[in-house]
Amino acid sequence: MENNPNMASGKLPKKKPLSMQLDLSKFGSADFIPATEEEKRQQDVMSKSTTFFKDGMRKLFKNPLAVASIGILLLIILVIIIAPMIVPYSYDEILSVNGRRDKGAQNLAPFAYSVLEQEYIAKGGTRFPHIFGTDELSRDYFVRVIYGTRISLSIGLFASLIVLIIGMIYGSISGYIGGKVDLIMMRIVDIIYSLPDMLMIILLSVVLNDILQFPAGSLLSKLGTNMVSLFIVFGLLYWVGLARLIRGQILSIKENEYVLAAKTIGAGPSRIIRKHILPNCLSVIIISTALQIPSAIFTESFLSFVGIGVKAPMPSLGSLANAARSGLESYPYKLIFPAAMICLIVLSLNLLGDGLRDAFDPKLKR
């Protein structure tokens, strides 16, 4: 803006002919006072540049429950990674002392030793303590809980990834194309909603048990056909909720001006969805995925608890809780450890999901 000599001298400028400006001569000199240098500097104060993700993470770390949940989850992940490197037992190892099977090591209490182990220690030997005791087959219970947590967390993350990929692709196509395609795709979703998931898992596990043959020693053979059927059901049924959420977001976003601008410069549908629409659905994607993980873990734990989960001797938290029912009156701690781990993981993930919703949902203003 050019310097006005009248303003510099303290005089009000005159109104030019045919100008839409106010005629300042009709007002008193006290009505329009030039801004001081301090007032001008106040107008120059601007907020720091940020992005949607950085702003969301800043809000997330201001939530004490979300921060505590992140800390607990990181601690659990560190323990299940480091503990098997330190503890000298494996999840299916039956305890022995100097090559002799230790039959007296069944159902030991936490930090207790069997008679053979006590004799071995008295002779100068060293024995790693049984932190959670042992089970009915003389296997170290702490290692089994650690491996069970590994399996449950891995299944939850993998199942959530399947739901995310299928739901995001299906919902994006349905919402962006619209019309008859959207109508047909949503009717398919309604049909899938009506299918009972537990019945599908049981039927698939029975059918696949006779059809599928996995190589001996592979991870799939250790998990068993029950877990494979669980993954298939997650891929078939559990993505419909996320697909509907993304479809609803895209139906409102695709009418914005920047989407029209991308179309006018020749951008294809796939690029528009990837570069312009899905980044604006990021809050819904993050929140739904974070809340899907505890749901998948709880589903796996429930199936393992009723006996159609992970194949023995591979442990999961649900199968450990199921095995502990028989000795509940005599050895209640065997149920407490896996049950407490399930509650801790599911509660932490749910609190983290709520924190992500509060941080990344633009409709929730604080």
pTM over 0.85: no
Place of tokens 């992500």: 356
- Is the CATH number of domain 52-83+142-360 1.10.3720.10? yes
| pLDDT-derived band at 14, boundaries 50, 70, 90 | low
Query: What would the pLDDT profile of 36-47 be if each residue is shown by its tens digit?
Result: 777 766 665 555
Q: Please, which residues have CB within 8 angstroms of residue 269's CB and are 6 or more apart in sequence?
A: 176, 177
Domain ranges of the chain: 52-83+142-360, 94-138
* d(C-alpha 310, C-alpha 301), whole Å: 9
In this predicted structure, what is the pLDDT of residue 262? 86
Whether the predicted pLDDT of 142 surpasses 90? yes
Q: Please, which residues have CB within 8 angstroms of residue 286's CB and are 6 or more apart in sequence?
A: 356, 360
**Mean of all residue pLDDT scores within the chain:** 81
The predicted model gives 79-103 an average pLDDT of 89
Query: What would the pLDDT profile of 337-350 be if each residue is shown by its tens digit?
Result: 999 999 999 899 88
* d(C-alpha 159, C-alpha 221), whole Å: 18
256 C-beta neighbours (distance < 10 Å), count? 13
Whether the predicted pLDDT of 53 surpasses 80? no
109-118, 144-153, 211-220: which has the minimum mean pLDDT?
Answer: 211-220
Of the ranges 7-21, 136-150, 295-309, 320-334, which is most confident?
136-150
Query: What would the pLDDT profile of 183-224 be if each residue is shown by its tens digit?
Result: 999 999 989 888 887 788 777 777 777 777 777 767 667 777
* d(C-alpha 50, C-alpha 45), whole Å: 15
| pLDDT-derived band at 366, boundaries 50, 70, 90 | very low
Whether the predicted pLDDT of 297 surpasses 90? no
The predicted model gives 152-158 an average pLDDT of 86
232 C-beta neighbours (distance < 10 Å), count? 17
Burial class (CB in 10 A: 0-12, 13-18, 19+), 137: middle
Q: What is the dihedral of CA 59, 62, 65, 66, to 10 degrees?
A: 40
Whether the predicted pLDDT of 15 surpasses 50? yes
